[in-house]
Protein backbone atom coordinates (compact mmCIF):
# COMPACT_ATOMS: atom_id res chain seq x y z
CA UNK A 1 0.00 0.00 0.00
CA UNK A 2 1.30 3.46 -0.89
CA UNK A 3 0.51 6.10 1.72
CA UNK A 4 0.32 9.73 0.71
CA UNK A 5 -0.12 11.94 3.80
CA UNK A 6 -2.09 15.10 3.01
CA UNK A 7 -0.33 18.19 4.30
CA UNK A 8 -3.66 20.01 4.31
CA UNK A 9 -3.95 18.68 7.87
CA UNK A 10 -0.38 19.69 8.82
CA UNK A 11 0.69 22.92 10.49
CA UNK A 12 1.66 25.25 7.62
CA UNK A 13 3.89 27.21 9.99
CA UNK A 14 5.91 24.03 10.58
CA UNK A 15 5.66 22.38 7.21
CA UNK A 16 9.25 21.14 7.01
CA UNK A 17 9.05 19.34 10.36
CA UNK A 18 5.59 18.01 9.59
CA UNK A 19 6.75 16.55 6.27
CA UNK A 20 9.80 15.03 7.94
CA UNK A 21 7.58 13.41 10.57
CA UNK A 22 5.65 11.42 7.97
CA UNK A 23 8.62 10.52 5.79
CA UNK A 24 10.57 9.37 8.87
CA UNK A 25 7.52 7.25 9.67
CA UNK A 26 7.82 5.49 6.30
CA UNK A 27 5.65 7.51 3.90
CA UNK A 28 7.27 7.88 0.47
CA UNK A 29 4.67 10.21 -1.05
CA UNK A 30 3.38 13.64 0.05
CA UNK A 31 -0.12 14.66 -1.04
CA UNK A 32 -0.51 18.35 -1.83
CA UNK A 33 -4.07 19.65 -2.13
CA UNK A 34 -4.27 22.61 -4.49
CA UNK A 35 -7.60 24.49 -4.29
CA UNK A 36 -8.57 27.68 -6.10
CA UNK A 37 -11.78 28.85 -4.41
CA UNK A 38 -13.69 28.20 -7.67
CA UNK A 39 -13.62 24.48 -8.35
CA UNK A 40 -14.01 23.96 -4.60
CA UNK A 41 -15.05 26.42 -1.88
CA UNK A 42 -11.59 26.70 -0.30
CA UNK A 43 -8.18 28.20 -1.17
CA UNK A 44 -5.00 26.40 -0.19
CA UNK A 45 -1.56 25.89 -1.72
CA UNK A 46 0.01 27.12 -4.95
CA UNK A 47 3.11 26.28 -7.01
CA UNK A 48 5.55 28.46 -4.96
CA UNK A 49 4.88 26.30 -1.91
CA UNK A 50 5.44 23.13 -3.95
CA UNK A 51 8.76 24.58 -5.13
CA UNK A 52 9.94 25.07 -1.55
CA UNK A 53 8.71 21.65 -0.46
CA UNK A 54 10.72 20.15 -3.35
CA UNK A 55 13.91 21.50 -1.72
CA UNK A 56 13.35 19.77 1.62
CA UNK A 57 12.20 16.24 0.69
CA UNK A 58 12.90 13.44 -1.75
CA UNK A 59 9.38 12.06 -1.33
CA UNK A 60 7.20 11.86 -4.43
CA UNK A 61 5.17 15.06 -4.61
CA UNK A 62 1.61 14.00 -5.38
CA UNK A 63 -0.21 17.15 -6.47
CA UNK A 64 -4.00 17.01 -6.42
CA UNK A 65 -5.38 19.88 -8.49
CA UNK A 66 -8.86 20.91 -7.38
CA UNK A 67 -8.91 23.87 -9.72
CA UNK A 68 -10.68 25.17 -12.80
CA UNK A 69 -8.59 25.34 -15.98
CA UNK A 70 -5.87 22.96 -14.78
CA UNK A 71 -4.27 23.15 -18.24
CA UNK A 72 -3.30 26.78 -17.52
CA UNK A 73 -1.39 25.95 -14.34
CA UNK A 74 0.04 22.53 -14.96
CA UNK A 75 3.42 23.89 -16.15
CA UNK A 76 3.82 25.86 -12.92
CA UNK A 77 3.46 22.69 -10.86
CA UNK A 78 5.70 20.66 -13.16
CA UNK A 79 8.39 23.35 -12.97
CA UNK A 80 7.97 23.50 -9.19
CA UNK A 81 8.98 19.84 -8.95
CA UNK A 82 5.74 17.87 -8.80
CA UNK A 83 6.14 14.16 -9.59
CA UNK A 84 2.47 13.30 -10.05
CA UNK A 85 -0.21 15.65 -11.29
CA UNK A 86 -3.85 14.72 -10.80
CA UNK A 87 -6.67 16.78 -12.25
CA UNK A 88 -10.45 16.37 -12.04
CA UNK A 89 -12.71 15.02 -14.73
CA UNK A 90 -15.25 17.64 -13.58
CA UNK A 91 -12.84 20.47 -14.42
CA UNK A 92 -14.17 20.10 -18.01
CA UNK A 93 -10.77 20.16 -19.62
CA UNK A 94 -9.90 18.15 -22.73
CA UNK A 95 -8.66 15.24 -20.63
CA UNK A 96 -6.93 13.35 -23.44
CA UNK A 97 -4.76 16.34 -24.37
CA UNK A 98 -3.90 17.16 -20.77
CA UNK A 99 -2.97 13.56 -20.01
CA UNK A 100 -0.70 13.44 -23.06
CA UNK A 101 0.84 16.79 -22.20
CA UNK A 102 1.71 15.77 -18.61
CA UNK A 103 3.14 12.47 -19.87
CA UNK A 104 5.24 14.33 -22.46
CA UNK A 105 6.89 16.14 -19.53
CA UNK A 106 7.84 12.76 -18.03
CA UNK A 107 5.54 13.22 -15.04
CA UNK A 108 3.00 10.77 -13.74
CA UNK A 109 -0.61 11.72 -14.42
CA UNK A 110 -3.77 11.02 -12.49
CA UNK A 111 -7.44 11.67 -13.19
CA UNK A 112 -9.91 12.09 -10.35
CA UNK A 113 -13.65 11.86 -9.87
CA UNK A 114 -15.80 13.39 -7.13
CA UNK A 115 -18.06 11.13 -5.05
CA UNK A 116 -21.11 11.49 -7.30
CA UNK A 117 -19.33 11.23 -10.67
CA UNK A 118 -19.60 7.92 -12.49
CA UNK A 119 -16.57 5.81 -13.44
CA UNK A 120 -18.00 5.69 -16.97
CA UNK A 121 -16.99 9.32 -17.45
CA UNK A 122 -13.28 8.40 -17.16
CA UNK A 123 -13.33 4.80 -18.41
CA UNK A 124 -11.75 5.68 -21.76
CA UNK A 125 -8.77 7.27 -19.96
CA UNK A 126 -7.99 4.37 -17.62
CA UNK A 127 -5.57 2.75 -20.12
CA UNK A 128 -3.73 6.10 -20.54
CA UNK A 129 -3.14 7.31 -16.98
CA UNK A 130 -0.78 6.27 -14.19
CA UNK A 131 -3.37 6.82 -11.48
CA UNK A 132 -7.11 7.13 -10.89
CA UNK A 133 -8.12 9.05 -7.76
CA UNK A 134 -11.49 8.16 -6.29
CA UNK A 135 -12.73 10.88 -3.92
CA UNK A 136 -14.59 9.55 -0.90
CA UNK A 137 -15.51 13.03 0.37
CA UNK A 138 -16.67 16.12 -1.51
CA UNK A 139 -13.35 17.82 -2.28
CA UNK A 140 -12.63 21.02 -0.37
CA UNK A 141 -11.80 20.18 3.22
CA UNK A 142 -9.99 17.64 5.33
CA UNK A 143 -11.63 15.92 8.29
CA UNK A 144 -14.87 14.89 6.56
CA UNK A 145 -16.62 11.55 6.86
CA UNK A 146 -15.85 8.73 4.41
CA UNK A 147 -18.61 8.05 1.85
CA UNK A 148 -19.01 4.31 1.45
CA UNK A 149 -21.10 4.60 -1.73
CA UNK A 150 -18.25 6.42 -3.46
CA UNK A 151 -15.76 3.76 -2.35
CA UNK A 152 -17.71 1.09 -4.23
CA UNK A 153 -16.40 2.68 -7.43
CA UNK A 154 -12.89 1.45 -6.52
CA UNK A 155 -13.99 -2.06 -7.44
CA UNK A 156 -15.28 -0.93 -10.84
CA UNK A 157 -11.98 0.83 -11.61
CA UNK A 158 -10.01 -2.14 -10.33
CA UNK A 159 -11.89 -4.56 -12.60
CA UNK A 160 -11.29 -2.37 -15.65
CA UNK A 161 -7.62 -1.91 -14.71
CA UNK A 162 -7.02 -5.65 -14.45
CA UNK A 163 -7.74 -5.96 -18.17
CA UNK A 164 -6.61 -2.61 -19.51
CA UNK A 165 -3.88 -1.21 -17.22
CA UNK A 166 -2.56 -3.68 -14.64
CA UNK A 167 -0.02 -1.17 -13.30
CA UNK A 168 -2.67 1.45 -12.55
CA UNK A 169 -2.41 3.12 -9.16
CA UNK A 170 -5.86 3.35 -7.60
CA UNK A 171 -5.77 6.12 -5.03
CA UNK A 172 -8.51 6.96 -2.54
CA UNK A 173 -8.81 10.33 -0.81
CA UNK A 174 -11.13 11.47 1.97
CA UNK A 175 -11.99 10.16 5.42
CA UNK A 176 -9.31 7.46 5.46
CA UNK A 177 -8.64 5.80 8.83
CA UNK A 178 -7.73 2.26 9.84
CA UNK A 179 -11.30 1.02 9.24
CA UNK A 180 -12.03 2.77 5.94
CA UNK A 181 -8.52 1.95 4.66
CA UNK A 182 -9.34 -1.74 4.98
CA UNK A 183 -12.57 -1.27 3.00
CA UNK A 184 -10.64 0.51 0.23
CA UNK A 185 -7.98 -2.18 0.13
CA UNK A 186 -10.61 -4.90 -0.15
CA UNK A 187 -12.18 -3.04 -3.09
CA UNK A 188 -8.77 -2.94 -4.83
CA UNK A 189 -7.13 0.36 -3.82
CA UNK A 190 -3.32 0.42 -3.65
CA UNK A 191 -2.74 4.03 -2.60
CA UNK A 192 -4.36 5.95 0.26
CA UNK A 193 -4.34 9.65 1.04
CA UNK A 194 -4.81 10.54 4.69
CA UNK A 195 -4.90 13.95 6.33
CA UNK A 196 -6.52 14.09 9.72
CA UNK A 197 -5.98 10.43 10.57
CA UNK A 198 -2.21 10.98 10.35
CA UNK A 199 -1.68 14.58 11.40
CA UNK A 200 -4.27 14.74 14.18
CA UNK A 201 -3.03 11.43 15.60
CA UNK A 202 -1.07 11.49 18.88
CA UNK A 203 1.37 9.02 17.35
CA UNK A 204 2.05 9.99 13.74
CA UNK A 205 4.53 7.18 13.22
CA UNK A 206 2.04 4.56 14.34
CA UNK A 207 -0.69 6.08 12.15
CA UNK A 208 1.50 5.91 9.03
CA UNK A 209 2.66 2.39 9.87
CA UNK A 210 -0.91 1.21 10.48
CA UNK A 211 -1.97 2.38 7.02
CA UNK A 212 1.18 1.02 5.34
CA UNK A 213 0.44 -2.42 6.77
CA UNK A 214 -3.33 -2.41 6.33
C1 LIG B 1 -10.07 16.96 0.31
C2 LIG B 1 -8.63 16.69 0.02
C3 LIG B 1 -8.08 15.59 0.85
C4 LIG B 1 -8.10 15.85 2.34
C5 LIG B 1 -7.99 14.55 3.08
O6 LIG B 1 -10.57 17.83 -0.63
O7 LIG B 1 -8.47 16.32 -1.33
O8 LIG B 1 -6.78 15.24 0.42
O9 LIG B 1 -7.08 16.71 2.74
O10 LIG B 1 -8.17 14.78 4.43
P11 LIG B 1 -8.80 13.68 5.40
O12 LIG B 1 -7.94 12.46 5.31
O13 LIG B 1 -8.76 14.32 6.75
O14 LIG B 1 -10.21 13.40 4.93
ZN1 LIG C 1 -6.53 15.43 -1.98
**Which pLDDT does position 91 carry in this prediction?**
98
Query: What pTM value is reported for the model?
Result: 0.98
Ligand 1 interacting residues, C-beta cut-off 6 A: 6, 8-9, 31, 33, 64, 137, 139-140, 142-144, 173-176, 193-197
CA atoms within a 13 Å half-sphere pointing along the CA-CB vector of 73: 23
- CA of 34 from ligand 1 middle (Å) equals 11
**Which pLDDT does position 43 carry in this prediction?**
98
Candidate of 41, 142, 151 to mutate for ligand 1, largest count of ligand atoms within 8 Å of Cβ: 142
Distance CA 7, CA 10 (A): 5
Average pLDDT over residues 32-41: 98
**Which pLDDT does position 57 carry in this prediction?**
98
**Which pLDDT does position 24 carry in this prediction?**
98
Average pLDDT over residues 37-57: 98
The reply to whether 173 belongs to the active site is yes
Percentage of the chain modeled with pLDDT above 90: 100
Each residue's pLDDT tens digit, 10-34:
999 999 999 999 999 999 999 999 9
Q: Residue 8 CA: which ligand 1 atom is closest? A: 9
Distance CA 99, CA 92 (A): 13
**Which pLDDT does position 114 carry in this prediction?**
98
Amino acid sequence: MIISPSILSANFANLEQDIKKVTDAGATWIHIDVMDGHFVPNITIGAPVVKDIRKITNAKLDVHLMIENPEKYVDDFINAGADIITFHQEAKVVSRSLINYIKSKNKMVGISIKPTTFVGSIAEFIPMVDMVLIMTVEPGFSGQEFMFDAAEKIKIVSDIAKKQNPNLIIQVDGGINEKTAKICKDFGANCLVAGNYIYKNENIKEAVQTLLNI
